[in-house]
Amino acid sequence: MNNKIENTLFQCRAINKEFGNVRANNDISINVRSSQIHALLGENGAGKSTLVKIIYGLLQPDSGSMTFLNEEYSPKSPKDARALGVGMVFQHFSLFEPLTAFENILVGLDKELGEKELHASVIMLSESYGLEVNLSSFIGDLSAGERQRVEIIRALIQKPKLLIMDEPTSVLTPFECESLFKTLKKLASEGTSILYISHKLKEIADLCDTASVLRKGAIVGEYDPKKMTPRELGEIMVGQSLFEPKRPVAANRSNKVLSVKINEVKPDTQFGVTLKNIDLAVYQSEILGIGGVAGNGQEELMQVLTGEKKDRNVSIKYMDNDIEMLNPRERREIGLAFAPEERLGHAAVGNLNLLENSLITDPKKRFQMKMGFIDFSELNEYTNEIIEKFNVKTTGVSALASSLSGGNLQKFVVGREIGQKPSLFIVNQPTWGVDALSAANIRQAIVDIANTGAAIILISQDLDEILEISNKVAFLTNGNLSIPTNTMDIKTDEIGAIMGGISD
C-alpha cells in the first residue's frame, strides 16, 4: 500500500464538471503511477476529453482536487501545466498549418530557446525516439503521422513527467501506429507516465498497463487490459454486450452493379497518387472491401468513383450505363450514394445545421414540394430518424454540423447516405473516430442495405472492419489495386505482403 502511494505520479479526486445541465465529469478519481501507460477508455462523449482538458489546465473543475508529484496541482492554464511537467498531444492536432514544423515547436515552448539549441534538442529527441521530421517543412505539407511527430516532439522537449495523448492513433496508418507505440513504450520505460486516451480496444491491450474506464461521465472501474480480452473491455466500456455484424449472405451475386476500369489517372497535385491498372466489379448484395495504408490512392479512387474527378481514361459502367462523364449530382440521381472520408467540409457543411445537411444530398428531391419550397415536416422526420437510428449525439436537428464531434458527424453522414436507399453505396472510412458500439451499428447498417440488394464499396484502413463484413477484398498499394479475392480465402500473412506491395 505504501509502495503504491510512493509510486503515484498523478492523482485526481472527485472531479466534477458541468456544462449547462450536462454533467461531463461526475466524481472522477484516477491514479496514474509513474512509468506507466495508463489508458483512459470510453465512448465518444464519456467525458475523457473534459477530464484531460482539466488536467492540462484548459478547463477548471467545478469541484475536486488533483495532486501531481505529491503536491497540490491546480493549473489555471496550459502554461502552468507545462511548467509543472504535464504535456499533451491533441487529437485534432494543435498545429498551425502555414507555419513550419520548427516554428510550431517554438510557439509551443514557454521559454525562449536559441535556434541552435532548439535544433540540437529536436534532433536528439528525434533520434532517440524515432521521431523523424523535417523541421523546415510547412505543416500543411505533412502527413498526419508526421504532424503527430511534430506535436510529440513539441511536448517532449519540455521534458514532461506526464504526457497526455488524446486518441493519437485515430489518424495514423498501421505502420505509423507501430512506430508510435515503440516511442511511447520507450518513454514509459524511461520514467514518463502516459495518459492514453482511446476507444480502440486492441491497442490498449497491446500498449497499456492499466485502464480506467469511463462511461457517461463517471468512472466504471480500473482494469488490467493485459488480463482481459478486448471484447470484455469493450463491453465494460459501452455497458452492454457487443455484437459483431455478419457479412451479407449471397443472394443476388449474378447482377453486376458497377464495373470500373482504369488504365492510368494522374493526380491533380504533385503529392497525389497515380491510379494504375484498376479493374473492379461489384455485384448486388455484395460488399467489396478496399484496404491499404492511407495515401496509396484511396482519396484519388474515391474522387473518380464519386465523379469529383472525371477522366477519359476511366470506364465506369453502372447497370449497363457508362457514367464516367457524369458529375456527382447526376450519379446520385441514378442511385449512387457516397460518404467521403473528410467529414467536415467535404461530406457535410459545418456552418449548416443537420436539417440543411440532409437537404443538400437529396437526389430524389424527396423534400421538395411544388414551386421549390422545402417540405420541412418530411425533412424533420428524416433527419430525426437518422439521429435516432445511428445514435447521433446532438442537441437536435438545428445544431450546426460543426458543433458535432467527429464521430457523431460521421454517424450522421453515413446515416444520411444510407437513408437515401442507394443501389450502390461507396464509403471511405465509415467508422473513423467512431466508438465501438456505434461502429458496430454503422457496419450493421451497411450490411443491412447490402442484404436488401445494394452493392457496397467499402474503402477502409481498418483491416479488421474490412475482413469482418466484406465479401471480397482488394488492396491498394501505390495506386495499384490487387485482384479482388473472396475474404474467406485470404490468409492474414498474405495481406501483409500485398499491402507492403511485395507480391505484385
Q: Which chain residues interact with another protein by CB under 8 A?
A: 19, 53, 57-59, 77-79, 82, 90, 94-99, 103, 106-108, 112
Cβ nearer to another protein, comparing 296 with 408: 408
Cβ nearer to another protein, comparing 82 with 331: 82
Task: Compute the least distance from the CB of residue 216 to another protein, in Å.
Answer: 19
Q: What's the rounded Cα separation, in Å, for the pair 295 and 274?
A: 11
Cβ nearer to another protein, comparing 149 with 443: 149
Residue 58's alpha-carbon distances to 49, 80, 147, in angstroms, are 11, 10, 22
Task: Compute the least distance from the CB of residue 77 to another protein, in Å.
Answer: 5
Closest CA to 294 of 504, 480, 461, 481: 461
Task: Compute the least distance from the CB of residue 108 to another protein, in Å.
Answer: 6
Q: What's the rounded Cα separation, in Å, for the pair 324 and 482?
A: 22
Task: Compute the least distance from the CB of residue 106 to another protein, in Å.
Answer: 6
Task: Compute the least distance from the CB of residue 94 to another protein, in Å.
Answer: 4
Q: What's the rounded Cα separation, in Å, for the pair 257 and 254?
A: 9
Type of residue found at 191: G
Task: Compute the least distance from the CB of residue 367 to another protein, in Å.
Answer: 31
Q: Angle, nearest 10°, between helix axes 376-389 and 406-418?
A: 120
Q: What's the rounded Cα separation, in Å, for the pair 454 and 450?
A: 4
Cβ nearer to another protein, comparing 119 with 202: 119
Closest CA to 46 of 68, 24, 71: 24
CA 163 to chain centre: 21
Take residue 321 and report the three cell numbers written for it. Answer: 450505363
Task: Compute the least distance from the CB of residue 112 to another protein, in Å.
Answer: 5
Q: What's the rounded Cα separation, in Å, for the pair 400 and 352?
A: 5
Task: Compute the least distance from the CB of residue 98 to another protein, in Å.
Answer: 6
336-339 and 424-428 beta bridge pairing:
parallel
Cβ nearer to another protein, comparing 106 with 344: 106
Cβ nearer to another protein, comparing 53 with 331: 53
Task: Compute the least distance from the CB of residue 140 to another protein, in Å.
Answer: 8
Q: What's the rounded Cα separation, in Å, for the pair 157 and 36?
A: 19
What is the torsion angle, in degrees rounded to the nearest 10, for the CA atoms of residue 393, residue 396, residue 398 and residue 400? Answer: -20
Cβ nearer to another protein, comparing 96 with 181: 96
Closest CA to 430 of 338, 344, 355: 338
Cβ nearer to another protein, comparing 99 with 319: 99
Cβ nearer to another protein, comparing 89 with 446: 89
Helix segments in 130-173, DSSP class H: 144-156
Q: What's the rounded Cα separation, in Å, for the pair 371 and 380?
A: 19
